[in-house]
Amino acid sequence: MKTPILIGGFALAVLPAWAQLQPIPADSIRTILLQEVAISTKRHNHQQHLQEFYTANKAATTEELLSRMPEVSFIRRGSYGMEPTIRAYSASQVSVTLDGMRIQGACTDKMDPATIYIEPLNLQSIEVQTAGGSAMQGAAIGGSLNMKLAEAELADEPRLSGAVSTGYQSAANAVLGGLRLNYATPTWGLRASGTYRNAQSYRNGNSEKVLYSQYEKANIAINGKYLLQEDLILKADFIADDGWNIGFPALPMDVGTAKARIGSISLVRENEEKRWTRLEARLYANRIAHSMDDSARPDLPVRMDMPGLSRTSGFYVEGTTAPGANQQLSVRADASASYLEASMTMYQEGQAPMFMLTWPNNRQLQSGVAAQYSWQVNTKTQLQLNSRLNVSDFSVTSSEGRDQMAVFGSTGTERQFVIPAATVQLSRMVYKKLKASISGGINGRTPTASELYGFYLFSQFDGYDYVGNPDLKPERSMQGEFTLSWQEPRVRVQATTYASRVENYIVGAHKPELSAMTMGARGVKVYYNAPYALLMGAEASAVYNINGYTQLVSTLKYSYGRDAAGEPLPMIAPLRHVSSLRKYFGDNLWVQGETEIAAAQHRNSESFGEQPTDAFMLWHLRAGYQKETARKVWQLNAGVENIFNVNYREHLDWGQITRPGRNMFVQLSMSF
């Protein structure tokens, strides 16, 4: 049992299933715990099993980790820079935050969701909340995704610890290098990490190279912690993430550079004896500069530069208290200001440069107050209330921007949106170990800057130029969720179904009288509020510890969406199932077989020119080996993904670009 072994073919039982990680009040929260725990927890307890299910490939990017969560799907335009969505909701309906901080991507074509500026090495956990639980994070109708940053540690005696890791993936000929150092003393601690990734264009299941799918990036993060008083900690974070030469095979352009600088200072007081057991205040700022690049693409009629800039600063204050026995109240106030600008300059031989603002310089000021109240009514019943009041003000800040918006007849660009949200959730043990939770509520979301002010933003997805509409109303949603879970020490089964009716659903409407700006575009669409859309779906998961050394994790999900006219919504993933069976051989070696099955999706949106997608089935095999010496822990992870080299694409992948074929990966890490 000393060498890592790859063992072939597990036939996996298929159980409708789904995983819940922690005994947290709400059923609508899912968390991935990352490396901190992996290193400190050496026994394979229940929690670690799930976490390893999520982090099965240790060389994975944040995106790959997220894509293993049953609620999360990715809209994929390239092998990096995918846009996370939750359930059937679109990316703009989901709130993505970094440790409670807001970050706005700086790309008008959504090539840089906040998740690309974070490495798993920066993170302690990733938290996905559905339904009303997201109210604490922001005004969203589709839930929230919060990436919790890893922190420096304190120790009784000064101590240096760290880890070095390196990895390789064959499909994209990708290399990864990572380094983490922690220095801990009784009163202060410092954590520094660095990651470098370099991936070439990958090969798909037909062993063809998918051009323009390469990327390269480096990430540095520093976190410091200082104990001011017994119960008061001062923290500071800084992350610098630089990506370059990021290919987008499904788009006509790639990304030249994408640079993020993220910083924050916070004060945390944790004291069980005080009335407020936990108080946190944080000030933060971040800046993202993004520029697209088409220099690698041959035969373009027009060359263009498309730089974008986003700057956000803000703060939040949150506190937790126990207003009574078996009750918990968390409150939060947050405010932020985000500034966005993006432009496009097109060049043609012998012509003056053609310049336009694709995002007229605009600013969003948002502030909100939120509260979450839970009450364990009795041993069988639990009640949770979530609420938020969010106020956002948008405006175009430059006269050039306002002049441009006037082309579409808009007289004013200043808008204010007030979004109330409230959710009630009731959980009750209904029969033996069967727990039922029902929740219902209202919430909403503001339009995005692109939806309000976007100026001829070309979407390769449907081939239209999109123009913003400053008169949009916010989306408002009524939604309900019902969960049944059965929990025993060895078996946990959970099934959830949800439905929401989204009023004022924001979507583009084709305007035949407008002529497209982009060459080859099919026309112009202007955002408007469709009467409503229906989004619903279900997820199920099971975790079955067959014995202490064998575990089955299985998830299933289905989403459904249609608009007021009954037409299917675009970008809705089909029925999808993942099962993994992991077996431990002693405490040091594990082997895991995995299947991933997606049904065909024929509910495609005709009006978006969306194509149906075929079903596929993938097999993966992973293994891990861990060796502990007196002062070091060595970990080797290796595996084969897509063993049978299936040529497939997910329904949410743009441009009929197929995914990587057989991928062999290996990762070695040493921690001390």
Partner 1 sequence: MKKYNWLTLWALAMITFFSTGCDSEDVAPMPTINYQKIAGGLTETADIKVEVYSTDKLFTGYNPLHIALFDAASGKQIEQASIKLQPMMHMMDKQHAAPAENPTTDRAVDGLFSGAVVFTMPSGDMGSWTLVVEVEADGRKTKATVPVTVVESATSRLKSFVSKTDGAKYLVAYLQPQQPKVGVNDLEVAVYRVNSMMDFPADSKLTLELNPEMPAMGHGSPNNVNPVHQSVGHYIGKVNFTMTGLWHLHLTLKDGAEEAGKVYFEVNF
User: Where does this chain bind partner 1 (CB under 8 A)?
Assistant: 302, 313-315, 317, 319, 323, 329, 331-335, 337, 344, 346, 348, 351-357, 363, 365, 367-369, 371, 391, 393, 395, 397-400, 402-404, 406-409, 455-456, 513-517, 519, 524
Closer by beta carbon to partner 1, 526 or else 530: 526
Structure tokens given for 487: 């929990």
How many C-beta atoms surround the C-beta of residue 637 within 10 A? Answer: 25
Closer by beta carbon to partner 1, 298 or else 324: 324
98 three-class SS: strand
How near is the Cβ of 248 to partner 1 at its closest, in Å?
22
Closer by beta carbon to partner 1, 253 or else 517: 517
How near is the Cβ of 387 to partner 1 at its closest, in Å?
11
For 194, counting Cβ atoms within 10 Å of its Cβ (0-12 exposed, 13-18 middle, 19+ buried), the class is middle
Closer by beta carbon to partner 1, 512 or else 566: 512
How near is the Cβ of 337 to partner 1 at its closest, in Å?
4
How near is the Cβ of 346 to partner 1 at its closest, in Å?
7
How near is the Cβ of 29 to partner 1 at its closest, in Å?
23
Closer by beta carbon to partner 1, 524 or else 571: 524
Entry field: residues in the chain: 672
Closer by beta carbon to partner 1, 11 or else 352: 352
Buried b (16+ CB within 10 A) or exposed e, 269-289: beeeeeeebbbbebebbbbbb
How near is the Cβ of 231 to partner 1 at its closest, in Å?
19
How near is the Cβ of 335 to partner 1 at its closest, in Å?
4
How near is the Cβ of 347 to partner 1 at its closest, in Å?
10
**What DSSP state is assigned to residue 350?**
T
How near is the Cβ of 367 to partner 1 at its closest, in Å?
4
Structure tokens given for 132: 């009303």
Using alpha carbons, select from 536, 542, 570, 572 the residue that is nearest to residue 556: 542
Contacts 24+ apart (CB under 8 A), 62-68: 62/115, 62/116, 62/118, 62/119, 62/120, 62/123, 62/126, 62/147, 63/115, 63/116, 65/32, 65/34, 65/120, 65/126, 66/32, 66/115, 66/126, 66/128, 66/145, 68/32, 68/578
Closer by beta carbon to partner 1, 47 or else 410: 410
Closer by beta carbon to partner 1, 405 or else 495: 405
Map 311-349 to HEC letters.
EEEEEEEEEEECCCCCEEEEEEEEEEEEEEEEEEEEECC
Report the DSSP beta bridge partners of residue 337.
313, 365
How near is the Cβ of 366 to partner 1 at its closest, in Å?
8
Nearest-angstrom CA–CA distance, 27 and 427: 9
For residues 448 and 139, is the Cβ–Cβ distance under 8 A? no
How near is the Cβ of 348 to partner 1 at its closest, in Å?
5
Report the DSSP beta bridge partners of residue 593.
581, 621
Closer by beta carbon to partner 1, 356 or else 575: 356
Closer by beta carbon to partner 1, 67 or else 321: 321
Nearest-angstrom CA–CA distance, 68 and 640: 16
How near is the Cβ of 637 to partner 1 at its closest, in Å?
45
Closer by beta carbon to partner 1, 517 or else 591: 517
Structure tokens given for 472: 């949009």
Closer by beta carbon to partner 1, 85 or else 395: 395
Structure tokens given for 194: 């660095």
For residues 579 and 15, is the Cβ–Cβ distance under 8 A? yes
For 605, counting Cβ atoms within 10 Å of its Cβ (0-12 exposed, 13-18 middle, 19+ buried), the class is buried
Contacts 24+ apart (CB under 8 A), 616-619: 616/646, 616/648, 617/646, 618/642, 618/643, 618/644, 618/646, 618/648, 619/9, 619/593, 619/594, 619/595, 619/643, 619/644
Nearest-angstrom CA–CA distance, 201 and 213: 5
